[in-house]
Amino acid sequence: MNPTTAALRAGLRRGLIELRTTFTNGQDLWNYFFPTAVLLVAMFFMRGSTVPGTDFSLGARTLPSALGMGLLFGGLLGLAQQLIVDREDGTLLRAKAIPNGMLGYLVGKLVLISAISLIGLVIQLVPGLFFLDGLRLGDPGAWLTLAWVVPLGLVATLPLGAVIGSLIENPRNMGLVVLPIFGLIALSGIFYPINGLPGWLQGVAQVFPLYWLGLGMRSALLPADLAVVELGGSWRHLETLGVLGAWALLGLVLAPVVLRRMARRESGSRVAARRERAMQRVG
């Protein structure tokens, strides 16, 4: 077995071990289930409202959008936070000291974050089926659409998460990323169609992957005739594929460069300095 294959297998095992461990940690379980519970409660109270111009439940329309939002949060923010924390406690430095250790580390994190994102999707979707009507999970076309939207969404967001996690050293600075994402949520039609927004705001929303993740998930799970309330009056599958593919390509080009640069700069003195700053924050 060559060193690269060994690192890939070690990374896969690492990811599965961390996945099993995370479901025995109360704090991690709270982080997974509490936001899901909040979203489901919100959709429960929205189920009586309708999408403007239709008699379709706004809650049922929101669920697929929230699933797309969950992919962004899991892939981008999840991986970024993991990298920041592991840089601060020296995990990345230890991985760097092992032959192909960084490759194995990154594969393990990709496995972990992808699995958590998919599990999060399931634990949002399944309860929603019991009180929201109109979702078309019985249609084979829905599963075919999910089969390309979900993996492409992860590929479009995970490398970006690696880039952000490599550039940010202080966990407190994650707010610089989280706050703009909350702004994008308001612009991207997650909780309400954006047709009423000014054209330039609609254009801003369509630059970023969040809008297209929400649209792709809606195209998979909602009735075909509900496309009339979307921009352009259609699900725009080709545009979804193109924009998410472009973000995936950008991330895949940037991530290796930024990760290598970050790995070269890691040293014992930098880890010690971060640990000292962390202790000062705790104190």
Of 173, 257, 250, the C-alpha closest to 207 is 250
Task: Return the exposure string of 147-169: e unless at least 16 CB atoms fall within 10 Å of the residue's CB, then b.
Answer: eebbebbbbbbbbbbbbbbbebb
Q: What is the pLDDT confidence band of residue 63, given thresholds at 50, 70 and 90?
A: very high
Evaluate whether residue 156 is within a structural domain: yes
CB 120 within 8 Å of CB 72? no
Question: Are residues 150 and 220 in contact, defined by beta-carbon separation less than 8 angstroms?
Answer: no
Asked if residue 275 belongs to a domain, the reply is: no
pLDDT band of 266, cuts 50, 70, 90:
confident
Q: Which of these ranges, 122-126, 194-198, 245-249, 271-275, has the smallest mean pLDDT?
A: 271-275
Give 95: exposed, middle or buried? Use CB within 10 Å, 0-12, 13-18, 19+.
Answer: buried
Q: Report the distance separating Cα 74 and Cα 69, nearest Å.
A: 9
263 within domain boundaries: yes
Residue 223: pLDDT band by 50, 70, 90 thresholds? very high
Query: What sign results for the dihedral spanned by CA atoms 216, 247, 91, 181?
Result: negative
pLDDT band at 217 (very low <50, low <70, confident <90, very high): very high
Give residue 155's pLDDT band: very low, low, confident or very high (50, 70, 90): very high
CA dihedral sign of residues 275, 277, 278, 283: positive
| Domain count for the chain | 1
Per-range mean pLDDT, top range of 46-50, 183-187, 234-238, 262-266: 234-238
Burial 228-263 (b: 16+ CB within 10 A, else e): ebbbeeebbeebbeebbeebbeebeeebeebbeebb
pLDDT recorded at residue 87: 83
Query: Residue 282 falls within a domain, yes or no?
Result: no
Residues 16, 113 contacting (CB under 8 angstroms): no
Percent over 90 (pLDDT), the chain? 44
**Rounded CA gap, 241 and 50, in Å?**
28
With H, G, I as helix, E, B as strand and everything else as coil, classify residue 50: strand
Q: Which domain holds residue 157?
A: 3-269
Res. 283 pLDDT band, cuts 50 70 90: low
Q: Which helix (H) or strand (E) holds 265?
A: helix 237-265
Answer whether residue 136 is part of any domain. yes
- Say what the pLDDT of residue 126 is: 92
What pLDDT is attached to residue 280? 65
Which secondary structure element, helix H or strand E, spans residue 26, and what is its range?
Answer: helix 26-46
**281 assigned to some structural domain:** no
Using one digit for the tens of pLDDT, what is the confidence trace for 90-148? 888 888 888 888 888 889 999 999 999 999 999 999 999 889 888 888 889 899 999 99
Rounded to 5°, angle at Cα 154 from 233 and 44:
60
- Answer whether residue 23 is part of any domain: yes
Please check whether residue 194 lies inside any domain of the structure: yes
* Per-residue pLDDT band at 282 (split at 50, 70, 90): low
225 CB contacts (<8 Å, ≥6 apart)? none
